[in-house]
Amino acid sequence: MDELFKVNEGELKEANAMEIAKAIVKTLDSKRANDIKVLKIDNKTIIADYFVICTGNSTTQIKTLADEVEFQLGVGQVPYVRLEGNDCPDWKVVDCHDVIVHIFSNEARDFYKLEKLWADAEEIDISNIIIAN
């Protein structure tokens, strides 16, 4: 199992949403995603417990980030619903039930402003997780 997840084989599929979100942050950070944020939205909506939001520098990096998250979820045996955005180079979404990952270009992130839309959500401090930047 990939070192990023730091749990025993098969345990991640039963990990709580916060552990999955942290593992996703580590994955994104390892691939040099920019401005990674985690918003706790469980008391705001039923669609998920957390949003993980980040920015990629190019369409190639955005695709790479989404593919790596999808791969690492598979390695950790975390069930995910789907990867959305194959027809959109500026925004990819990985839906893994309790955690939804949004990977944007700078322009798309500025346009959609998810952090502003979810301004009343709690932002989780991930400074102890981020190492690449």
The reported pTM is 0.86
* Segment holding 16, helix H or strand E: none
Q: Is residue 104 part of a domain?
A: yes
Asked, for residue 132, whether it belongs to a domain, the answer is no
Query: What string of pLDDT tens digits covers the 133 residues of the chain?
Result: 344 444 444 445 556 899 999 999 999 999 999 999 999 999 999 999 999 999 999 999 999 999 999 888 877 777 766 778 778 899 999 998 899 999 999 999 999 999 999 999 999 999 999 885 5
Q: How far apart are CA 18 and CA 77, in angstroms?
A: 16
Q: At 116, which CATH number?
A: 3.30.460.10
Cα distances (angstroms) measured from residue 128 to each of 113, 121, 125: 25, 20, 8
Nearest to 53 by CA among 117, 115, 122, 116: 115
- What integer pLDDT is reported at residue 2 of this predicted model? 46
- Taking alpha carbons only, the member of 57, 35, 19 closest to residue 115 is 35
Which residues form the domain of 68?
12-123
Q: Is there a domain that residue 2 lies in?
A: no
Asked whether residue 46 is domain-assigned, the answer is: yes
Is 6 part of a structural domain of the chain? Answer: no
Query: Does residue 131 lie in a domain region?
Result: no
Q: Is 77 contained in some domain? A: yes
- In this prediction, residue 77 carries a pLDDT of 74
Tokens of 16: 């709580």
pLDDT number for residue 80: 67
User: Structurally, how many domains does the chain consist of?
Assistant: 1
Please tell me the predicted confidence (pLDDT) of residue 86: 75
